[in-house]
Amino acid sequence: MALVLVVDDQAPNRALVVTLLRYAGHRSLEAADGQLALALVREHAPELVICDLLMPTMDGYEFVRQLRLEPAIAATHIIFYTATFMEREARALADACGVNHVLVKPCEPEEILRVVAEALSSHQTPAIALDAESFDREHLRVLTNKLALKVEELEHTNHRMSALTDLSLQLASERDPYELLNKVCRGARGLTGARRSVLAARYKNGTTTTHLATWGLTQDETTQLRAQLDLGAGLPGQVMEDGRSRRFSFEDGQTQLPPGFPPWQHGLLAPIVSLHHSYGWILLLDKLGDGEFSAQDLDLLAIHAAQAGRIYENGSLYKRVQHTAEQLELEVVERKAAAAKLRIANETLELRVQERTAQLHEIIDGLESFTRSVSHDLRGPLGGIAGAARLARGFVAQQRHDKVDQFLEVIADQAEQTGRMVESLLVLARSSDVQLRRQTVDAGPVVQTALGLLQLPDALPLPVCIEALPQIDADPDLAQQVFFNLIGNALKFASASAQPASVVIGVVGDQQPPVLFVRDNGVGFDPSQADRLFKPFHRLHGAQFAGSGVGLSIVKRIVDRHGGRVWAESLPGQGATFYVSFGPQAVDANAGELPAGD
């Protein structure tokens, strides 16, 4: 029976190894980082140490180096047990530290016990070949390479997250089932990076006609495929029949597609099915860059196709948004875990790497804020629809038609509210997608055009005073959207004032770049709540004033893209002033928070 020290910053990983050691009759100690582990080795002199590599405070390499420098404990046998052991340079560092055994996570329990027994039975003194200068250089290079790999994985996850968010918004607003299938086909291609995507599904009207959607195919290829398409033939028909997704390659010679498809090398197939029916399939051909699809691509396509089958069958907006929100929440949890791991490793690297990681964290926080807002604020009206529908069904059974009419009206109102929220979200998303066309323009005509869009025909002139305005460096269309939202916001809150409504647009001094303001004499707001103005769906006055809750977020997003700044000052009952500067030069700042307001 031996004493073994287990060093890992993750408690579940330590628990697994400790359990196996107890099963083999060994005693164990635990440490969460290299610094604590070094103290335990000095105090208890264990026969063996099983150590992770990337840990806070002191990583595995540094721990072993410090241990080898102390004669009393230098001969201690070490096993590296890590998921980061991938590079050839890491193997060289392990050899230099006198570490002869390396286990790669995940690892079978039998293999762990075998390596432990082999290390304990070895009477050979570890061969140590430490050169401080070269060790430090290789140590930093190995960790830097690993960090770069993590950054690449995080960027890939962010790309998929963006595609999922955009696709969820599109599906939530689409009522035509066949246009929805077209978007599902396009979305599947975007989620996996496929060159071509083909979706085939039988119509729901009971006929044998097949709906065909393609992306990445030429018009001639689509026409040829439509002429020869047999929904249930070949490998696609098998996938639709057995309900199981497939990943395949042309080189294996066992999986061939029916006639009509363009040349291909690698493919994914997923059935479009519900719980009770099979409607068709989604086919992806050849991945951009990589060539071959991954198992993760197959899982993602299977989930996407299953979601499409349920939406296609019942058209339930509630199920559609709920399923997408759950997937987004799962992605957020995984991304936060990856970001935490990245921050821990980043503490030991150069300032240049820290700055790059901070930029990635800013993107993550913005996406998380947006996802949380979508999940929370769309769930409210959808829950109202579901609850009203259940109550209405009960009154139908009781033949109380007056009550049924009341709840149907509630359902209609909630559905309209949901539609307005989705449309506002689409406007918010598009504010980042529009190409920035920055130029020097007179702010006066831009503001006049925005005011004209707010002026109703045959109505009294709006109580708005426009002072002399300077030239600004901005995209004229996006600048017009900024002032449209700010002036509309000011008129809305000024209308509730006890005195006649008044809105003034002007410029602050002669600053460069210019700072313009929109001032109203409305109800104002508590200045301690100013930081909530530009956050999604945060409405300081509740439901007292109409609005979607994303108007100011659009303003903030546009100004951020210009590299500018927008802020507000106010006191309750004393009106509010919003200041905006479009910045000195063209800067497309897509990354950052997703703020919005009333």
Q: Could you tell me how far CA 84 lies from the centroid of its own chain?
A: 24
- Residue 426's pLDDT is what? 61
Say yes or no to pLDDT of 433 above 60.
no
Q: How far apart are CA 454 and CA 303, in angstroms?
A: 44
In the sheet that holds 210-215, the strands lie side by side as 210-215, 194-202, 278-287, 266-273, 246-249
- Residue 144's pLDDT is what? 56
Question: What's the helix, strand, coil split of the chain in %, to 5?
Answer: 55, 15, 30
Going from the N-terminus, what domains does the chain have, and what CATH number goes with each? 3-130 (3.40.50.2300), 174-315 (3.30.450.40), 439-581 (3.30.565.10)
Segment among 75-84, 211-220, 411-420, 502-511 with least mean pLDDT: 411-420
Mean pLDDT of 327-332: 82
**Better-scored residue on pLDDT, 231 or 315:** 231
Q: How confident is the model at residue 136 (pLDDT cuts 50, 70, 90)?
A: low
Bridge partners, residue 268, by sequence: 247, 284
Helix (H) or strand (E) holding 355: helix 351-397
Segment among 316-330, 376-390, 432-446 with least mean pLDDT: 316-330
Q: How far apart are CA 231 and CA 203, in angstroms?
A: 11
pLDDT tens profile 5-48? 999 988 988 999 999 999 999 999 999 998 999 999 999 999 99
pLDDT tens profile 40-65? 999 999 999 999 888 888 888 888 88
Q: What is the largest CA-CA distance in the chain?
A: 98
Is residue 555 a contact partner of residue 486, using CB atoms and an 8 Å limit? yes
Which stretches of 47-131 are DSSP H helices?
A: 60-68, 88-96, 109-121
Three-state secondary-structure class, residue 435: coil
Mean pLDDT of 119-123: 85
Q: How confident is the model at residue 547 (pLDDT cuts 50, 70, 90)?
A: low
Question: Sign (positive/negative) of CA torsion 135, 138, 140, 142?
Answer: negative
- Residue 444's pLDDT is what? 93
**Better-scored residue on pLDDT, 585 or 276:** 276
Q: Which residues contact 268 (CB under 8 A, 6 or more apart)?
A: 192, 194, 245, 246, 247, 248, 283, 284, 293, 297, 298, 301
**Better-scored residue on pLDDT, 231 or 147:** 231
Query: pTM of this prediction?
Result: 0.35
Q: How far apart are CA 292 and CA 445, in angstroms?
A: 54
Helix (H) or strand (E) holding 101: strand 101-104
Is residue 485 a contact partner of residue 554, using CB atoms and an 8 Å limit? yes
Say yes or no to pLDDT of 590 above 50.
no
**How confident is the prediction for the chain on average, in pLDDT?**
78
Backbone angles phi, psi at 348, to 5 degrees: -95, 0
Q: Are strands 77-82 and 101-104 parallel, antiparallel or unpaired?
A: parallel
pLDDT tens profile 230-276? 888 888 988 988 889 998 888 765 566 877 788 888 899 999 888 77
Mean pLDDT of 189-198: 86
Q: Are strands 246-249 and 266-273 parallel, antiparallel or unpaired?
A: antiparallel
First-last CA distance in the chain: 68
Three-state secondary-structure class, residue 25: coil
- Residue 199's pLDDT is what? 92
**Better-scored residue on pLDDT, 281 or 209:** 281
Tell me the range of 27-31, 187-191, 331-335 where mean pLDDT is highest: 27-31
Mean pLDDT of 178-205: 83
